[in-house]
A = this chain, B = another copy of it.
Amino acid sequence: MSEVSPPALSLPRYLVEQAVATALEEDLGGVGDITTNAIIPPDAQGDASIIVRKPGVIAGLDLAAASFKSLDPDVRFTRIVEDGSKVEAGATIARIAGKTRALLTGERTALNFFGRLSGIATLTAGYVAAVEGTHAKIVETRKTTPGLRALEKYAVRCGGGTNHRFGLYDAVLVKDNHIAAAGGLAEALNAVRTAVGHLVKIEVEVDTLDQLEEVLRFPIGAVLLDNMDVGTLKRAIALVKGRAITEASGGVTLENVGKIAKTGVDLISVGALTHSARSLDSSLEWKGS
């Protein structure tokens, strides 16, 4: 993980602030943490650490920090590791010191962000490790949690993956339905090439080698090889001969991703990275407790 380039691991500040504000409102409603407010004196100070109970790759520390700082701007949040780091079970990730109320009230929000994003980063890193030695990159799909796409794509980057398109607006992916509606591949590609800007790449989805051969008669940026077995994938990549970026998709698992990567495919997209990752088990440990 150490070779992940940290400069690219950044999130716009407003995304962090908006996400944390939404999450805290959801948890606090109109009264706040009634247990804590009734019991803990406003000025009591506390110390705690975020630790992980399982090994994993870290993502979401900005969100965890903002969860506490939104409640007490004077909280000191000290990172022991940075997003993108691989850690062992039991590792301490960050120390938090400030008003006890802020620590108790912000705990769940901080951990919900941290656990979820680290879960995605960890699963991504698992796939990335499984393709080590090949040149294949692991990418996520648009099967993200509604409202959290930008954060989840960030977690994929933390895990060593790279990002597919962000939405329907920033790249073209031509599928069966489009080709059928256009009256043919040539017509579909022509329509789309005319309509979109010069910095927008076009990718076309194919299910068979016959479709692939037809597609390769046109200049396109990438080809999505959907649900092909490893043998077919190999033949597909041989056909492409570097004329387009190749992406394998469909039925990818931690078990078969290594074999898929060895076909020489450029990208492997994995829906599970975002739709089925388990949260990384983490908790807040109180100093002295």
Q: How far is the CA of A116 from the CA of B145 in the complex (A)?
A: 8
Q: How far is the CA of A119 from the CA of B276 in the complex (A)?
A: 9
Given A40-B181, A70-B14; A34-B168 close (CB under 8 Å) = yes
On chain A, which size bracket covers the interface?
Answer: 35 or more
A8: chain B residues at CB < 8 Å are 34, 37-38, 191, 194-195
Closest to A67 in B: B146
The answer to whether A14 touches B24 (Cβ under 8 A) is: yes
The answer to whether B112 touches A39 (Cβ under 8 A) is: no
Which of B7, B15, B275 lies in contact with A38, CB distance below 8 A?
B7
The answer to whether B195 touches A37 (Cβ under 8 A) is: yes
Indicate the member of A37, A109, A154, A171 with the most B CB atoms within 10 Å. A37
Task: Tell me, rounded to whole Å, the shortest Cβ–Cβ distance linking A26 to chain B.
Answer: 5
Given A22-B146, A70-B13, A70-B14; A166-B39 close (CB under 8 Å) = no
The answer to whether B116 touches A27 (Cβ under 8 A) is: no
Closest to A266 in B: B198
A70: chain B residues at CB < 8 Å are 13-14
Closest to A164 in B: B197
Given A168-B32, A194-B8, A275-B116; A143-B108 close (CB under 8 Å) = yes
Apart from A30-B166, A34-B196, list 8 A-B contacts with CB within 8 A: A7-B39, A8-B194, A19-B147, A27-B142, A105-B168, A112-B143, A137-B198, A177-B286
